Amino acid sequence: MIEMNNKHKIIMGLIIIGVCFIAGFFFALMYQPAEKTMQIYRHAMQDFANKDYQNSYYLFSRISFLSKLKPFAIYHQSQCARELGDKKSEMKQYQLLFNNYTKNRLSLRAKYLAAQMLINDEPQQAKKYFEQIIKSYPDTDYAIASEYYLGLLMLNKYKNNPELIFPVSTKDDIEMAFRHYLTKAPQGRLALNAVKNWLSIDKEIAKDDYLLMANSYYLFGDYEHARELLSKTELRESWVLDIKNSYALKNYPRVRYLAQYGLQNYAQYSEENDIHDAVDIYLSLSNSKKDDIDNLFKISQAKGKDYIWSLKCQTAPAAYQAGCYKQLYLNYPNGAYAADAMANIFFDRIKAHDYENAEKIGKDYLNKFKDSFSSPMVMFWLGKIAERNNNYNEYMEYYKSTIANYPDNYYAYRAYLAMKHIKTSILNAYIKEQPVVYPYKNISKNDVIFKLAELEDYDMLLEITDDEFVKSWIYYRKGDYSHSMLIARDAMEKITPKPERSDLRWRLVYPIDYYAEIKKYADAVGNNSTLMLALIREESYFNPEAQSAVGARGLMQLMPSTAKEISAHYGYGMTSPDDLYKPELNIKIGNSYYAQLRSMLNNLDISSVAAYNGGIGSIGRWQKNLSYSDTDEFVEQIPYSETKNYVKKVFRSYWNYLRIYIDE
């Protein structure tokens, strides 16, 4: 018995040794040094770019299954197979991906593409995949598109088999699938297909559904088809879309008629934003904006009237604006424009030097409208009132609160200057260049994100992330600085409270692009290089090919006529308006132009920035006609809202560049 037990142990030991040997053998076969993996992957991508899909497929297959890059390699193999027309291999790679890497984001895309491939040959399997996508990933674009394809599969069944009876219940299901898609993705890639397939069903269509279809046609610029479908809708529901479509067709009489009739009769059935759109389009055709606003104000219903009222106040003579805003606030104390109305009433008291009542209104404002758009302005000006009253503790508290609660705001900068008793608008400080890096600190360099970035496989990176700052970083790596900055800017606007200034995400919101050229030419003419960086950020978002509706071009948005004069005067060699798309030349000419404005405006940068947007003639008139005691009062009273907001945006950017890139 003992001998048998020993024999059994020996056999089991030999089996274990054998299993370990085999496992080690296969591990040795599958193991691949990281450096070797990166080399193979990089060569595979190069072959794909060179359209050598056969060799690219082979190289991607050599990526070890032990590597984090394997699922991405498998997906690339499917792309190679598609280019080669090898549907069998393409499907094999998709199935390998979504069956074995279920947690990888590419798994979802692989299943979606596999389902698309099966629509004609294996509709039942395609249906199964689409339904799995909708169930497991309901909030994704793939799920929305899958709803369309489920409708298409049901429709194809009867289109391809005309002898089958087409049940009304199935038509209802098809209609529901297309309706869901158009509701969720009216401008989606499949929207027009959904409309055409829906219209092909022999079934009465509801007026609301015609409106859905018309909206998609409008969004795709097919205004004639949109007009045709709008004629089948209920005007009560469609009047705003009809206005937009009629405007696109240049049928301006219909725009005017619908805007007036709709505001008078149908506003209560419409969304606030739609009413605003109708009003804005109507006023864009106006020869006398004030008269037309007054007319709309008289005929409009309660819903949306506060928006027209706010426009009425903006166009009212200066002496009547405060009274207008007071009436707006009293009639709509909880409306969308109540906070703005109260802020205007507050500043009117400051202009009138009625600081006692201004202080009461300001404090009441902060109690009622915490963190509204005008809160930083009100908080800052309460600080100025307290400073005027020599109440040191109070004004320091207001200034500190402005900076703490709204650190990236224009008024945070003005509060900082006031706290430090700095009278100029420009600080004697220089930023330290810092590179744009991955926006989060706690990530390993061995993470797959860094590996894909090092390989410049940016499409894969975009596919696997939902984080807007990571997307911004990817676009930055691709050299698309403008797109990168806009994504990061919009993402940061949603964050409350704002992160610390050392947070790496700020560098994506305020990148230092073209700074070597900016500093070179700013220093040459005595401009502040950081201010010029901020100005370029606001003018073009660092897009060297930017062009405005009026023809301003390049990074500093220069008008060709102005640039030509500057170039000729200084001998910069501009020969064509298209030369303004050259970053360095644009920066050189733009700095000389700004320096020229500054020299004509006593070296005052606030005035010069305003002149860069509104024209130097306007600045002269404002300085002469406005009543102000300091820079802050001047800025608040700039008559052109575009120029006033431009000044605030440029100096907001200037402030943020200082706080992000200066160590203190």
Rounded Cα distance between 38 and 48, Å, is 15
Active site residue 272: no
Question: Residue 264, Cβ neighbours under 10 Å: how many?
Answer: 13
Per-residue burial over 340-353, b if 16 or more Cβ lie within 10 Å, else e, is bbbbbbbbbbbbee
Torsion sign across C-alpha atoms 184, 190, 193, 197: negative
Tokens of 236: 């009560």
DSSP track, 239-284: HHHHHHHHHHTT-HHHHHHHHHHHHHHTGGGS-HHHHHHHHHHHHH
Q: How far is CA 635 from the centre of its chain?
A: 28
Rounded Cα distance between 443 and 69, Å, is 17
Do 650 and 609 form a contact (C-beta atoms < 8 A)? yes
At residue 84, what is the residue type? L
Tokens of 494: 């949603």
Rounded Cα distance between 294 and 327, Å, is 15
Rounded Cα distance between 112 and 106, Å, is 10
Per the listing, tokens 């006529």 go with 561
| CA nearest neighbour of 70 among 27, 111, 106 | 106
Q: Which of 539, 584, 636, 664 is catalytic?
A: 539
Helix, strand, coil percentages in the chain from 3-state DSSP, rounded to 5: 70, 0, 30
Rounded Cα distance between 31 and 192, Å, is 49
Strands (E), 83-217: none
Rounded Cα distance between 506 and 509, Å, is 5
Per the listing, tokens 């067709």 go with 249
C-alpha Rg value of the chain to the nearest Å? 32
Q: What amino acid positions are annotated as catalytic residues?
A: 539
